[in-house]
Chains A and B, each alone.
Chain A
Amino acid sequence: MLDVNALRNPRVMITLLLLIAAVLVPFFAGNFLVSFGSRIIIWTIAAISLNVILGYGGMVSFGHAAYLGIGGYAVGIMAHHGINSGFLQWPVAMLASALWALAVGALSMRTRGVYFIMITLAFAQLIYFVGVGLEAYGGDDGLTIYKRSEFAGILSLKNRATFYWTCFVLMLGVFYLCHRLVQSRFGMVLQGSKSNDLRMRALGFPTTRYRLTAFTLAGAMCGLAGALLANQTDFISPAMMHWTASGDLIVIVVLGGMGTLFGPLYGAIAFFVLEESLKPLIDWVRPGWGDYWRLLFGPLLVMVALYARGGLDSLFERAARPRHG
């Protein structure tokens, strides 16, 4: 299946090496790195889902963290009531997120541009305040999950490495799904609508229902990421669906390269590695200033917006292009 020539492409090489290294992480890395890796993988899944609608569909959803929260709360609330089976929790998490995405999408698709950005944000805020108001489940303070999702003894997510590999396999699955999805007829319509919606409609595509379907699928995908996140942190709180988390997701997608398959992975790695490494790096240059790493990270985002919209993916591609002269 794999084209041997493709290996000469640095993008493919980088991704393959990353993936191989990622599989091996639990063998050589300590607890911190394994948890760190799980976190990156979970956010990658969430970012892939956003990439489907933002990168391929051109829909700037500024409320994507809501689905992360709904997925997390589905797991947390069920665990709170003694329902610990992941076979039940995870599908419910995905279904609940998908339903909410369907509702939000159906209303938001009536608007365009800035209004679309704002209405998705408003609906996410709505869910955020629902979380704050859910006093039975901790309200503002959140809720501790005492038992991770159980899979009839097949998988023990309490084991750090097992949890990591579970996330990893799910990420690969979601990548493959996304790959098939965007290449399919459905994906062509989605991308066509991003490119020129008016023309797509004139061609005879009722584009709204395709966009809405993508929006709903993305919601379900992100709900899965939310279920994983709740298991990883053993905790849910409204903070996981704060609007800044939606902003973080956009940053990850753009940083990695919008509308590219592996962009979300590059973006999530870059985002979290920067977050963890800028601090010691600055401390090393100027002791005591490491805490203020966002003073660098903020302007970095401005730079990305201004000068590097292709993200890391296009950087790798440029490195891959044969030089002339």
Chain B
Amino acid sequence: MSYPETYRYTKEHEWVHLENGIATVGITDHAQSELGDIVYVDLPKPGATVQTGQSFGSVESVKAVSDIYAPVAGEVIAANDDLATAPEKLNEDPHGAAWLIRVKVADGTDLGNLMNAADYESYIGAEH
């Protein structure tokens, strides 16, 4: 699976896509493949606030429960409810339909310290 050029990536394997002040956050294809079959996703409710670098939820696979860290700060305006009944979507389409939350970020939010697709791909290449 390819890593979209318009997304930015964290070392903890989340992606973020910023458009018109709304950041959509998910986990990467590499993350879902490392976790294995995902069986449960725990997400915040709309209205919650998330802080950069802080855990905002968790993803549970048959192997382990892993925290998910917010790449941006702001107010959660939507959480992907589909994942509650169909967590397998996170294995099938992690960069698309299985986004996790949408966050309203402050003006001037800068993703410059995150990796672009090429950097992320070499980062996960070096991990192994």
Q: Do A and B come from one complex?
A: no
- A residues adjacent to B (C-beta < 8 A): none
